[in-house]
Amino acid sequence: MASSRRRSRIAAFQALFEADLGERAVASVLERHLEKAGLDLEGQDFARSLVHGVEVNLMAIDAVIQRHAPAFPLAEMAAVDRNVLRLAVYEVLFDTDRAPLRAAINEAVEIAKGYGSESSGRFINGVLGAVVLEAAERQGSAGQGEPGPPEGG
């Protein structure tokens, strides 16, 4: 199941990345990536829901990223980092019922390491750590256990 979730996240990331760079409709790009990924129906649904969630909440997600990475304007941020963050911020803040917090963060860091620059994993981990801390403070630290960046990221 975990590998299916990872492949779903990778397909979602690849579609968001390609649509962002090519200024294409993400839905058609996603379907092509889903075909290549060979996901079962549950995995396809998960990837579609991630992409749809990012699309619907894009302005709020981008505002969160800008607040926690003010030295890196979105337009100047590496496209890999921008789209990994969009996907992860959606999972961490908007789609909180489906994936454990640490799993969402760890997956984002791994995707960033696999597709981004040498420093992408650390950058993603740092931004998501700040996002999680702010969310925990807003919730009065209720709910998710002890949020924070994963070890060794």
Tens-place pLDDT, residues 1-60? 447 889 999 999 999 999 999 878 888 899 999 989 889 999 999 999 999 999 999 999
The pTM of this model reads 0.86
- Tell whether 150 is covered by a domain: no
pLDDT digits (tens, 9 = 90+) for 87-139: 999 999 988 777 788 888 999 999 999 999 999 999 999 999 999 988 887 77
- Tell whether 147 is covered by a domain: no
Structural domain of 118: 2-138
Predicted local confidence at residue 24, as pLDDT:
80
Question: How many folded domains does the chain comprise?
Answer: 1
SS3 category, 111: helix
Distances (CA, A) of 43 to 5, 68, 70, 95: 6, 30, 34, 16
CATH of the domain at 125: 1.10.940.10
- Tell whether 149 is covered by a domain: no
* Res. 71 pLDDT band, cuts 50 70 90: very high
Predicted local confidence at residue 110, as pLDDT:
95
Is residue 16 exposed (0-12), middle (13-18) or buried (19+ Cβ within 10 Å)? Answer: buried
- Tell whether 88 is covered by a domain: yes
